[in-house]
Structure 1
Amino acid sequence: MKQMDDLYKLRSGVRSKRISSYDRSGGNDDSVPVPPGTRKELARIEGAGIIRHIWMTHSSPDPMIRRNAVIRMYWDGETEPSVESPLGDFFGQGWGEQYNFTSLPLAAAPRKGYALNCYFPMPFGNGAVIVVDNESDQELDSLYFYIDYEEHDEIPDDAGRFHAQWRRELTDADPEQGENEHLGLVPQRPNQSDEHNYVFADIEGKGHFVGLQYYVDNPSTMWYGEGDDMWMIDGEAWPGSLHGTGTEDFFNTAYCPDEQYLHPYFGYAKVPDKIGGFLGRTHSYRFLLEDPIYFDKSLRGSIEHGHNNCLTLDIVTVAYWYQTEPHKPFGKLPGRAERQNKPAITLHDIHYWRQEYRKAFGGCTKLWGDEWRTRKPGETGG
Structure 2
Amino acid sequence: MNSDWVDNIHDAIQRGEQSASITAENPTGARGAGGREASALGPGRKGRPCITLPAGETTELANIEGAGSIRHIWMTVATHTEAIGFVLRDLVLRMYWDDADTPAVEVPLGDFFCNGNGERALVTSDLVVVAPTGGMNAYFTMPFRDGARITVENQHPVDVGGLFYQIDFVRTPDPATVTDLRFHASWRRENPTTPGQDFTILETGQGQGAFLGTYLNIVALERYWYGEGEVKFFIDGDDPYPTICGTGVEDYFGGAWAFQDRLSSESEPEVLTFSAPYCGYPTFSTRDTSKQALYYTSMAPVHGMYRWHVQDPILFSENLRVTVQQIGQVGADIVERSDDVSAVAYWYHNAPATNRTPIASRELRRPR
TM over 0.5: yes
Distance 1:73 1:217, change over 3 A: same
| Corresponding residue to 1:77 among 99, 107, 116 | 99
State how far apart, in whole Å, the 1-side matches of 2:354 and 2:198 are: 20
Asked if residue 329 in structure 1 is aligned to residue 329 in structure 2, the reply is no
Q: d(CA) in 2 for partners of 1:199 and 1:7?
A: 41
Larger radius of gyration: 1
Q: 1:296 aligns with which of 317, 320, 326?
A: 317
Cα deviations across residues 63-86 of structure 1 (Å, max 9, x unaligned)? Answer: 211000010000001111000101
**Cα gap change, 1:137 to 1:273, in 2 (>3 Å):** closer
**What is the CA–CA distance in structure 2 between the aligned matches of 1:309 and 1:76, rounded to whole Å?**
46
TM-score by length of structure 2 reads: 0.81
Task: Supply the AA of the counterpart residue of 1:206.
Answer: Q
Picking from 42, 53, 62, the partner of 2:61 is: 42
Give 1:20's aligned residue. Answer: 23
Read off the aligned partner of 1:115 and give its amino acid letter: G
Q: Where does structure 2 lack aligned partners over 5 or more consecutive residues?
A: 26-34, 40-45, 260-270, 288-298, 329-333
Whether the 8 Å CA contact 2:143–2:178 is kept in 1: the answer is no
- Quote the offset at 1:155 in angstroms: 4.8
Give the distance between the partners of 2:184 and 2:280, measured in 1 at CA. 22
- Return structure 1 stretches of 4+ with deviation > 6 angstroms: none
Offset of residue 243 of structure 1: 1.0
**Residue 301 of structure 2, aligned match among 276, 280, 285:** 280
The answer for the alignment partner of 2:273 in structure 1 is 260
Query: For residue 310 of structure 1, what is the amino acid of its counterpart?
Result: E
Quickly say closer, same or farther: Cα 1:305–1:157, change in 2 above 3 A.
same
Q: What is the RMSD computed on CA atoms of the aligned residues?
A: 2.0
- Tell me the alpha carbon deviations over residues 208-229 of structure 1, each in whole angstroms, 9 at most, x when there is no partner: 0011000000023310111011
Deviation at 1:271, TM superposition (A): 1.6
1:87-126 alignment to 2 at 5 Å?
87-111=109-133, 114-126=134-146
Q: Going by fraction, where is strand more abundant, 1 or 2? A: 2
SS at match of 2:327: coil
Is contact 2:193-2:340 (8 Å) kept? no
Match runs of 1:1-382 below 5 Å = 5-9=4-8, 10=10, 11-12=13-14, 13-22=16-25, 24-27=36-39, 28=46, 29-59=48-78, 61=81, 62-111=84-133, 114-153=134-173, 154-156=175-177, 158-172=179-193, 174=195, 196-204=197-205, 205-257=207-259, 258-273=271-286, 280-306=301-327, 310-342=336-368
Check whether the contact 1:228–1:304 (CA below 8 A) recurs between aligned residues. yes
Paired residues of 1:104 and 1:264 also in contact (CA < 8 A): yes
> What is the distance in 2 between the residues matched to 1:273 and 1:170?
18
Counterpart-to-counterpart distance in 2, 1:170 and 1:250: 22
Deviation track 1:248-291 (CA, whole Å, cap 9, x = no partner) reads 111121111131111110011012349xxx95101111001111
**In structure 2, what is the Cα distance between the partners aligned to 1:135 and 1:4?**
46
Is the Cα contact below 8 Å between 1:43 and 1:128 reproduced in 2? yes
Deviation at 1:15, TM superposition (A): 0.3
Pairs aligned (count)? 316
Q: Which one-letter code corresponds to 2:181 in the other structure?
A: G
CA distance in 1, matches of 2:67, 2:318: 26
Counterpart contact for 2:113–2:136, Cα < 8 Å: yes
Between stretches 81-90 and 96-105, larger displacement belongs to: 96-105
In 2 relative to 1, CA 70–174 (structure 1 residues): closer, same or farther, beyond 3 Å?
A: closer
Secondary structure of residue in 2 paired with 1:67? helix
Higher RCO (CA 8 Å, separation ≥ 6 residues): 2
Cα deviation, residue 56, structure 1: 1.1
DSSP-derived class of the 1:214 partner: strand
Letter in 2 for 1:93: N
Measured in 2, the distance between the counterparts of 1:334 and 1:174 equals 21
* DSSP-derived class of the 2:347 partner: strand
How big is each residue's C-alpha offset from its partner over 1:296-342, in whole Å with a ceiling of 9 and x where there is no partner? 11101001011688111101100100011223533121111111102
Length-normalised TM-score, structure 1 = 0.78
Percent identity over the alignment? 34
Mean alpha-carbon deviation: is it higher for 219-228 or for 301-310?
301-310
